[in-house]
Amino acid sequence: MTVAERTADIVNVHGLDIEVQTRGAGAPLLLLASEEQLEAQSAAVADLARDHKVVMPSPPGFGRSGRPDWMTSPDDLAYVMLDLAEMLDLEGVPLVGFSLGGWIAAEMATKDDSRFSHLVLVDALGVKIGGPTDVDIQDLWIQHPAKVAAMKWHDQEKGRRDFAAMPDDELAVVARNVESFARFCWEPYMHNPKLKHRLHRISVPTHVIWGENDGVCTTSYGRAYAGLIPGASFETIGAAGHYPHIEQPEAFGRSLRAFIA
């Protein structure tokens, strides 16, 4: 199959407009992107779209989705994504989430994983592993941008974006994504204190994938996260930071396909 079929729609979910992009036309797979929304044009998604219909909704506040004032956390976003999955009649599909998208996916699965065949979390945020003074997840908003880039990327060239060349409407989306990320994840910082006590509720096969060189949240954090989910497997991808699917799409694709096959 040639991956040329690309669509973007607005789906109204109980009064809230949600942007939904799709790639490919095979068996459905629900994909929740990272906070930077890098996935839509990535080689990893293009590869998945060879034999899957990759459904990529932008959570409230991201992309071109609405953001009502009453929403304050990824826990709220998870309910909207579950409603969307129901409206799209997604049944027995893999659920894959990256970084913030992984956090939302984990929240979804603790509430109702009956629509999902597999759960894949990639460098997911969302839990507090250590004590009050332990830095489980680096503070991305107080550090110099160069230091943040070094935390996120093994090869920083792969993370460079040419903002000067972007049209204004794309820049507005980038700025909005940053704003919503801060709004939903600032307090408490990058986690839901309740989530780690709910992860035992996940009953679908779960695979946790981590970039070996992730400086945002290390492999130790990832292993501990996986350990909170019954039966979850854990795998690292070498020469990759917080976005292993962007830096090493072939290795990521092999890991994902072996798990959901």
**CA–CA dist 23, 48 (Å, integer):** 9
Query: What is the value of pTM for the model shown?
Result: 0.96
Sheet holding 233-237, edge to edge: 6-13, 16-23, 52-57, 27-32, 93-98, 116-122, 206-211, 233-237
Q: What is the pLDDT of residues 202-220, one digit of tens each?
A: 999 999 999 999 999 999 9
The two tokens of residue 127 are 């839990």
The pLDDT assigned to 8 comes to: 78
DSSP class of residue 216?
A: S
User: What is the C-alpha separation between 261 and 27, in angstroms, rounded?
Assistant: 11
Residues 4-61: pLDDT tens digits? 356 779 999 999 999 999 999 999 999 999 999 999 999 999 999 999 999 999 999 9
Query: Any idea which residue has 């992009």 for tokens?
Result: 21
Residue-averaged pLDDT of the chain? 95
Q: Are 214 and 241 in contact (CB under 8 A)?
A: yes
| Candidate CATH numbers 3.90.180.10, 3.40.50.1820, 3.30.70.260, 3.30.413.10; the one for domain 6-260 | 3.40.50.1820
Cα(112)–Cα(102) distance, integer angstroms: 15
* 151 CB-contact burial (10 Å; exposed 0-12 / middle 13-18 / buried 19+): middle
List the chain domain ranges.
Answer: 6-260
Taking alpha carbons only, the member of 178, 154, 160 closest to residue 244 is: 154
